[in-house]
A and B are shown apart, each in its own frame.
Chain A
Amino acid sequence: MIFATKKQIDHIEENTDIVPIGSYWQLVRRKFLSHKLAFFGLIVLTVIVLLVVVGPFLVRVAYDEMDFTALLVPPLSSGHILGTDELGRDVFARLLYGGRISLLVGVCSSLISTGIGLLVGLFSGYFGGIVDRLLMRFVDVMLSIPSFPVLLILTLVFGPGLFNTISVLAIFGWMGVARLVRSVVLSVRENDFIMAARVTGTKKIQILFRHIMPNVIPITIVSATLNLSYAILAESSLSYLGLGIQPPTPSWGNMLQKAMTYILSKGHASQTPWWLIFFPGFMIFLVVLSVNFLGDGLRDALDPRFVSES
């Protein structure tokens, strides 16, 4: 106020609202939509999520309904669009229901583990010194624990189940993110704008969340999407050991694992039951791929420096 004349201030007052302040999210949306692969990923994921959420209500057959007159029926036969498994259960119904479990496990555990990793990495990298050393040694300890034997003990104690599977995957999934975030924080905090923020009186904790975190978010998003794919696959190996989602509840992971035994021993079937392995595998592939595209797109869209070609 002191610096300008009354007239200038009036002039500024009049015009301030014309300046489109805060168009950041519009810009992000525009950039995201122009990223073709990310947009494709978003559509595929939306379709899958819709199918998985609404689908089970629309399918006439229950996922655990056995039909011993139709064992290992190939796809496109009467009543079973994707065929049946070795107990005569409808693969399509199981696929939809299993998708709920797999996506829930994947999304929840990767969100939790990324969150933990982000916080640990931020604090470790920014505060340094004793905080850094303690947190990083804790990461080393966690990494050196062989996770599968521990999982075994944990499930023996707490019993297998959806919640425990998510927690276990989250607890053993954050260390990579923490290290990654820490390394980025170490380079970001050396910038002069951190010093400038201190000179203008910004508090340390505000610097961490206002200046450093936004510069770390992009790489965190990418690593969260990788974590999601990892979690979906890890759930399947947990299920294989009988520690994850318990049969008869299907998940893409345990459907896949179960199918392995049948694909190797042809047994009584007249043809190899390829559909048992193809559909869950394809779904995992599709989800992982679209999530990765989505992550790429988000990273680029959130970066103001990145200008889309269009």
Chain B
Amino acid sequence: MSETLCELVDVSKWFTLKERIKGKSLLKAVDGVSLKIKDGETIGLVGESGCGKTTLGRSLVRLYEPTRGKFYFSENGQKIDLFSLKNSDFEKFRPKIQMIFQDPYSSLNPRMTVLDIITEGLKNQKVPARERKNLASEMIQVVGLKREYLTRYPHEFSGGQRQRIGIARALVLKPKFLICDEPVSALDVSVQAQIINLLVELKQSFGLTYLLISHDLAVVKYISDKIAVMYLGNIVEVAKTDDLFDNPLHPYTKGLLDSIPIANPRLRKLSKGILLQGELTSPIDPPNACLFAPRCPYKMKRCTQEKPKLKQVSAEHKVACFLY
């Protein structure tokens, strides 16, 4: 349980932009992210849209070729840097790291049957047809759908059912590490709860480790053991879920938590949190400074001169801010 499954060291994904007038510039979507994920842990990755959460997730499965960094993955007691592998060697690890996508409408090919969708990965693994079919019928029941649905097409299903199919597609490969990229944000609220509960259930029965990318703090709070807060390509705070909600340290985290609407008007009056002002700064050619400084109420001189590093403040609480 306490063993480290994944370790990200200084993972970066920079996109090169070519502009006619300005010449080349770098968009640092993910810039030096380091993170340890323990076996069986659910880690929530939160942040505003455009902060690089999705890019990070996609880099881990090599949908984007990472610019820099190491991604150690523990397999049978061995630590292997997946980023250093050639594409052909990486294929072996593909089943171990799977992904669930945000939009259940565009993530299923409308011209394939549910069976073909679920078994595609097995086909790539050269699993014989009969076994593929058995595994698929099993898996579709595991995610709470009927076996008869295997012959149907995606358009015959609701959003929640489609997301279940997407989960089955990932799980049928028996992954260790599942990256859930906003798995419920495209669903109705009532369905969201079902999918979240399904994810919790599956985690226990299959011993999964999750990286849950989301902007919905309620969802993240419910499911995660640990939360990493991301701002403009950097992780600014990592802590245990309860710790983060009770005692947020980074001004951005405070602002983020205070942005959760409070239903009770009396309590709302009492709260005197930080209101996040302004927009994300541009991630193109960022300065060597705290990127949150332009929006930060506690801005100091130092913040614009150097970049804060993630600092350990207590056992499992790290923050990147000069205040601590």
A, B co-complexed: yes
Residues of A within 8 A of B61 (CB): 199
A193 touches B109 (CB 8 A): yes
The interface of chain A, by Cβ under 8 A from chain B, is 1-4, 8-9, 12-13, 15-16, 19-24, 191-193, 195-203, 211, 214-215, 303-305
B147-166 residues with Cβ-Cβ distance < 8 A to A are 147-148, 150-151, 153, 155, 166
Q: In the bound complex, what is the Cα–Cα distance between A12 and B125 (angstroms)?
A: 22
Closest to B148 in A: A19
B side interface size, CB within 8 A:
45
A193 and B151 in contact, given A12-B134, A200-B120 (Cβ under 8 angstroms): no
Residues of B within 8 A of A305 (CB): 110, 153, 155
Q: In the bound complex, what is the Cα–Cα distance between A19 and B133 (angstroms)?
A: 11
A-B CB contact pairs (8 Å), 16 listed: A1-B131, A3-B138, A3-B206, A12-B147, A15-B137, A19-B151, A20-B151, A21-B133, A21-B151, A22-B151, A192-B106, A193-B109, A196-B99, A199-B63, A200-B121, A304-B110
A13 touches B134 (CB 8 A): yes
Closest to A198 in B: B63
Q: Mark B98-114, 1 if CB is under 8 A from A, else 0.
A: 11011100111111110
Shortest distance in angstroms between B265's beta carbon and chain A's nearest beta carbon? 40
Closest to A21 in B: B151
Q: In the bound complex, what is the Cα–Cα distance between A70 and B94 (angstroms)?
A: 80
Closest to B120 in A: A200
A196 and B166 in contact, given A16-B134, A24-B113 (Cβ under 8 angstroms): yes
Residues of A within 8 A of B115 (CB): 21
Q: Mark B109-145, 1 if CB is under 8 A from A, else 0.
A: 1111101010011001100000101110111001000
Shortest distance in angstroms between B195's beta carbon and chain A's nearest beta carbon? 16
Shortest distance in angstroms between B132's beta carbon and chain A's nearest beta carbon? 11
A191 touches B106 (CB 8 A): yes
Given A200-B94, A214-B109, A303-B111, 20 other A-B contacts at CB below 8 A? A8-B138, A12-B147, A13-B134, A16-B133, A19-B137, A191-B107, A192-B101, A192-B103, A193-B108, A193-B109, A196-B101, A196-B169, A199-B99, A200-B170, A200-B173, A201-B121, A211-B109, A215-B110, A305-B110, A305-B153
